Amino acid sequence: MSEDEEMTKVNIASSADIIAARGKGRELAMKMGFNVVDQTKITTAISELTRNIVTYAGKGEVTIEKAQSETGDKNGIVVVCVDEGPGIKDIGLVLKGGVSTSGSLGLGLSGAKQLMDEFEIKSKPGEGTIITIKKWLRRR
Amino acid sequence: MDIPILKIEDFLVVTIQSELSDDEISKLQEDILLRIKDVGATGLIIDITALDIVDSFMGRTLSNVAATAELLGAKTVVVGIRPAVAVTLVELGIRVKWNVNTALNLERGRKLLKQLIGAEQRGGVS
């Protein structure tokens, strides 16, 4: 199977899309041999980030695929969430958790960061947000 | 999809059998509250054994249902959280804000409800 076939893109605009994206994430994580706890963490992180897209940006997309670390010694999964929504003014504050402008628990971003091994965010007010999260397979 | 709400003695039991969309969640929330009022339920058990993920949105929904049920005089216990879901919820940081009673399974959930209701009737803190 080529690498391309391992890449999934889901357009996000509604709660049904969130469920679809989670399903794709779970599927790939399972196929790659992540244990149930890590599968659940990955799926939950995808849910948090895509939920943010629906709530704040209205629409966007998520890409889920296999990843390899720069040193080539780790394999894992990478999820990229892109939207052209309002962006985030104070990323530091949001990442602390417990802050919400939508009446939610405010755990989305901080939670996704906590659940994954790597977390990168680029956001500009008025332009949108790109969030990349990664989880590595644990070697036995 | 209609989610059945069963009545056992004075308790309602709701089993969530698949992942729910936002619309299904709001409908369920409404249905539960109407049933509590109709049958005068004093307790509510929400069984989420079938859910392989509970994100912060679902977490908040469950806590909202519990809070609203409480206003109608019914205590809520969430049962059937899977181990992997529990690990994830803790890492998500939900404990701090999550004011929901939980029990391992239906049977223990029923016991816990009876204790909670009993404690309240005795005027204790629940």
Taking only the tens place, the pLDDT of each residue in B55-97 is 988 998 999 999 999 999 999 999 999 999 999 999 988 776 6
What value does the mean pLDDT take over residues B115-125?
80
Q: What percent of chain B has pLDDT over 90?
A: 70
- Counted domains in chain B: 1
Position B18 in a domain: yes
A51–B contact, CB cutoff 8 A: yes
Q: Give residue-wise pLDDT tens across range B39-55.
A: 999 999 999 999 999 99
Question: Any chain B CB within 8 A of the CB of A44?
Answer: yes
What CATH number did the domain enclosing B77 receive?
3.30.750.24
Residues 35-54 of B with CB under 8 A from A: 52-54
Q: How far apart are CA B53 and CA B33, in angstroms?
A: 24
Q: What is the pLDDT of residue B99?
A: 80
Host domain of residue B112: 5-121
Task: Determine, yes or no, domain membership for B99.
Answer: yes
The CATH H-level (homologous superfamily) assignment of domain A6-136 is: Histidine kinase-like ATPase, C-terminal domain (3.30.565.10)
Q: Is residue B11 part of a domain?
A: yes
Is 70 exceeded by the pLDDT of residue B9? Answer: yes
The more confident residue out of B13 and A69 is B13
Residue B126 placed within a domain: no
Contact B19 A19 (CB under 8 A): yes
Walking along chain A (140 residues) 10 residues at a time, the average pLDDT comes out as 71 95 96 96 96 93 94 94 90 76 73 94 92 90
Q: Chain A residues with CB inside 8 Å of B61's CB?
A: none
Predicted local confidence at residue A1, as pLDDT = 46
List the single residue in B with minimal CA-CA distance to A47: B55
CA distances from A76 to A23, A38, A64, A79, B98 (A): 17, 11, 11, 10, 31
- What are the domain boundaries of chain A? 6-136
**A16 with B19: Cβ contact below 8 A:** no
Chain B residues touching A34 at Cβ < 8 A: none
B88·A110 Cβ contact <8 A: no
pLDDT category at B124 given cuts 50, 70, 90 is: low
The answer as to whether B50 is a domain residue is yes
Looking at the domain assignment, is residue B52 inside a domain?
yes
- Tell me the one-letter amino acid at A109: L
- Does the CB of B107 have a partner CB in chain A at under 8 Å? no
CB within 8 Å: B94 and A97: no
Across the interface, whether the CB atoms of A22 and B19 are under 8 A apart is answered yes
Q: What's the full length of chain B, in residues?
A: 126
Residue A26 pLDDT: 97
Residues sharing a CB contact under 8 Å with residue B7, sequence separation 6 or more, in sequence order: B13, B35, B39, B41
Q: What value does the mean pLDDT take over residues B6-20?
A: 93
Closest Cα in chain A to B88: A41
- Considering only CA atoms, which of B56, B104, B113, B66 is closest in space to residue B83? B104
Reply yes or no on whether the pLDDT at B11 is more than 60.
yes
Q: How confident is the model at residue B126 (pLDDT cuts 50, 70, 90)?
A: very low
Which of B110, B2, B12 minimizes the C-alpha distance to B69? B12
